[in-house]
Amino acid sequence: MTGYLVLPCHVVATVTPMLVLAVSLAGLGSAVVAGLGIAAYAQRRSGSYLLVALALSAILLRSAVAVLTIGGVIPFTTHHTAEHALDFVLVALVLAAVYYARRVESAAGVDR
């Protein structure tokens, strides 16, 4: 491969106390945020709140993927793909929530 620069797509990390701390804090924070999203949905019971709660839960799932990778359950290559898939799910759910909310406002005759 003369003339080509090969860059790794993902660096395989070793499990360090700092990594465990970071993943633990991310998991705790995302659990709180997902819980708040679910509580907001339980109070409002609307489609857009459900979609936002699911999007926030996708963030929690990213932390779960990291924990399972550190624990050796999910290989590093699968971990990378799973995180990108969850990123896609998160963005799709947020866009769907915005679209749904705007559609409901339009049907109700709300002008902004």
Domain of 77? 17-107
Number of domains within the chain:
1
Spatial neighbors of 85 by CB under 8 A, at least 6 apart, are none
Residue 4: its pLDDT value, please?
A: 64
Question: In this structure, is residue 4 part of a structural domain?
Answer: no
Per-residue pLDDT tens digits for 6-17: 555 555 567 888
pLDDT band, residue 68 (cuts 50/70/90)? very high
Is residue 21 domain-resident? yes
Q: Is residue 1 part of a domain?
A: no
CA 103 to chain CA centroid, Å, is: 25
| Alpha carbon of residue 2 to chain centroid | 39
Q: Tell whether 10 is covered by a domain.
A: no
Structural domain includes residue 9 = no
pLDDT tens digits along 20-47: 999 999 999 999 999 999 999 999 999 9
* Residue 52 vs residue 110, higher pLDDT: 52
d(CA 83, CA 79): 6
